[in-house]
Each structure stands twice: as structure tokens, then as C-alpha cells.
Amino acid sequence: MGVGSLCKRQGDPGVIAAILDAILLDRPDLRLHGFGCKRTSLFEPAVRSRLATADSMAWSYAARFEGRDQNAWDEAGRFALGVGGCPEAIDFLAARAGWRRAARRDEVTPERGLGTALWLQ
């Protein structure tokens, strides 16, 4: 289920977590999607653990502001890597952006994570 207007509450991720908790208290069976989640909230474990999925225009805004192509696959891929996006989404975005795998997923240790070292642009 989509939870909208989270972008208006980015200053306090605790408020976002409280909203998500209220929904999940009533409907624990739902998988929540956060509309408008910026890095501020996605880095917060209390928010991230309650969301099944999320989206953000933050990555495309930054690209537009800095004069890059906001519709480029590598812009979305960099954002997903930066917030620790799900491996399947990162694989998809990387393939669309034409990135080459620098290491096999099974060779990456949990201590190193699936960060930018996994991909070559």
C-alpha cells in the first residue's frame, strides 16, 4: 500500500516511522511503499525496516540541478547504490546503464556490502 507525502516530513524520520507504525498496527499484513522518501529517511533504520519499497525524485532533482540527464539509468543506479537499494533493483539499473560487474555478488563479503565497488561504469 502506498503512503504518500512523506517528502513533507523528511526533517524528522521519527515522525515517518510513527506514521508507518500506526498503519502497520492496524494492518500488519500490508507491505508499505513510501512515496517521496529522501535519503534522510531511507538511512534511518526505523523507517527503512517498515517499508517494502520506496521511491524518490531526489536523485532526478539533483541530476537536473547539476546539469546531468535526470532520465539516465545511471542516475537512478547511483541513488540506489547510495541508499543500499535491493540487489535486484541495482542489478536491473546497472544493466540498463551499461555498467559492468567488477565482482560477483557471492564474492562480496557482508562487511564490504554491495556498494559502488561492485560495479564499473
The better pLDDT of the pair 36, 11 is held by 36
User: Using 50, 70 and 90 to split pLDDT, how confident is the model at 26?
Assistant: very high
Q: What are the residue ranges spanned by the domains of the chain? A: 1-56, 69-121
* Interacting residues of 92 by C-beta distance below 8 A, sequence separation 6+: none
Q: DSSP readout, 14-81?
A: HHHHHHHHHHHHH-TTPPEEETT--HHHHT-HHHHTTEEEE--SHHHHHHHHTTS-TT-HHHHHHHHH
User: Using 50, 70 and 90 to split pLDDT, how confident is the model at 113?
Assistant: very low
Could you read off the pLDDT of 60-77 as tens digits, one per residue? 777 788 888 877 777 777
Amino acid at 35: F
Judge residue 59's burial from the number of C-beta atoms within 10 Å of its C-beta, 0-12 exposed, 13-18 middle, 19 or more buried.
buried
Q: What percent of the chain has pLDDT over 90?
A: 13
Q: What is the mean pLDDT of residues 98-111?
A: 57
Strand partners, 3: 34
pLDDT at 40: 79
pLDDT at 31: 92
The better pLDDT of the pair 22, 78 is held by 22
| Cβ atoms of residues 13 and 47 within 8 Å | yes
C-alpha cell of residue 98:
551499461
Q: What percent of the chain has pLDDT over 70?
A: 72
